[in-house]
Amino acid sequence: MNIQAQLKDFDFSNTTIGVLGSHSALDVCLGAKLEELKTLVITQKGRNKVYDDYYKTEGNSGCVDDTIQLESFSDLLHQRTIEKLIGDHVIFIPHRSFEVYINDYEKIEKEFNVPMFGNRYLLKVEERGIKPNQYDLLELAKIRIPVQFKNPKDIDRLCLVKVLEKERGFERAFFVAQNYADYAEQVEIKLKNKVFTEDQLKHSIIEEYILGVHVNFNFFYSPLTEKLELLGCDTRRQTNIEGYTKLPAVYQKDVGNKIQIQYEEAGHMAVTVLESILTQIFEMGERFVKASKELVAPGVIGPFALQSIIVPGPPKKDIVVVDVSPRMPGSPGIMATPYSSYLYRKPISVGRRIAIEIKRAIKEGALDKIIT
């Protein structure tokens, strides 16, 4: 079915905002409810209790109107599920967990025939092994990234090696190395311990370790207004690296030899930045939007994040982007930062900003500008 042909049947009374039950689903649902849109969460068996019991809509409380429970998240691609979503006039909001659990961008692009908010063809740039990828996009946008090493024998500074885990293919088994001997020693140990495979190692990324402050800049680009907004900033809380770095230095080496240091995401914290670098942040975001239109038409639609490290001068502080999220971010707490309030005079979450955009597109008959 042609997705664009479906859009003529959408109006405010029969539109439902749908999202996979993980990552930032509650943020999406609350934003939709605040804008008086219906909500639907697609859950996996055994993971529905949060949405069915604790955040179910009841009068003026809760934000999840309805759920669909699947045996597996991958069943989202089953024709009966797709037909159900189409019949319910769902506009689907993608996030990282959706990509991870489906794990097939070709099917997301060609088989998931549900109207999707945002550019579904841009999602795959997040994967470094696909072309074009986020590095191509950042290079086109002239945004600074860490120096990369294709050959580990060329390592001449402290580097971060990013390898997918063997057990969980969506998590990365980061490790730090300062030269080739250090790299080879750690690789031998991690292969022996089955942290990752030889094939996964071949597809690893080796990049210089950037010392600075980690800040994610969470933007929203509206095709309806052609304006870029900064909704908020956050930083990650990761396990078990945070506990490790809080150990007294005298114990770190010994503990590091006994455990696998992980950078697994556990949560986020709201962050503010100096006003003096806001111009640079917005310019970076504008270049990213322009480059995305050139590389993967129609370009960015809605939320995206540039995961960055602010580094010191001289001559002045600079921003190095280490990762890109071309979709709904996973940090509902960014509305606790003041940036959306500077624009809207009240805090606006990413979920609510998406709902605002959808409502406006329905009213203006412009859903085709924000849906793929």
19-66, pLDDT tens digit by residue?
999 999 999 999 999 999 999 999 999 999 999 999 999 999 999 999
pLDDT for residue 9: 79
User: pLDDT at residue 2 above 90?
Assistant: no
Higher-confidence residue of 172 and 300: namely: 300
pLDDT (mean) for 168-172? 68
CA–CA separation, 206 and 150 (whole Å): 7
pLDDT (mean) for 98-117? 95
pLDDT (mean) for 144-153? 96
Q: List, for residues 290-318, the tens digit of each pLDDT value.
A: 999 999 999 999 999 999 999 999 899 99
Residue at 235: amino acid letter: T
CA–CA separation, 362 and 222 (whole Å): 14
pLDDT for residue 261: 79
Structure tokens at 281: 């942040």
Determine what percent of the chain is predicted with pLDDT higher than 70: 99
| Cβ neighbours around 302 below 10 Å, total | 23
Range in 3-7, 74-78, 185-189, 298-302 the model is least confident about? 3-7
User: pLDDT at residue 92 above 60?
Assistant: yes
Nearest to 218 by CA among 129, 111, 304, 323: 304
pLDDT for residue 164: 87
pLDDT for residue 169: 59
| Average pLDDT value over all residues in the chain | 94
Structure tokens at 10: 């959408």
**pTM above the 0.85 mark?**
yes
Determine what percent of the chain is predicted with pLDDT higher than 90: 81
* Strand-pair category, 205-208 with 159-162: antiparallel
CA–CA separation, 176 and 183 (whole Å): 8
Peptide bond into 329 cis (omega under 30): no
pLDDT (mean) for 280-295? 98
Q: For residue 170, name the pLDDT band (cuts at 50, 70, 90).
A: low
pLDDT (mean) for 274-298? 98
User: pLDDT at residue 1 above 60?
Assistant: no
Answer whether 72's CB lies under 8 Å from 84's CB. no
pLDDT (mean) for 194-200? 91
CB burial class (10 A; 0-12, 13-18, 19+) of residue 33?
Answer: buried
pLDDT for residue 116: 98
Question: Which residue ranges form the domains of the chain, and what is each CATH number?
Answer: 3-116 (3.40.50.20), 134-144+211-346 (3.30.470.20), 152-208 (no CATH)
pLDDT for residue 19: 98
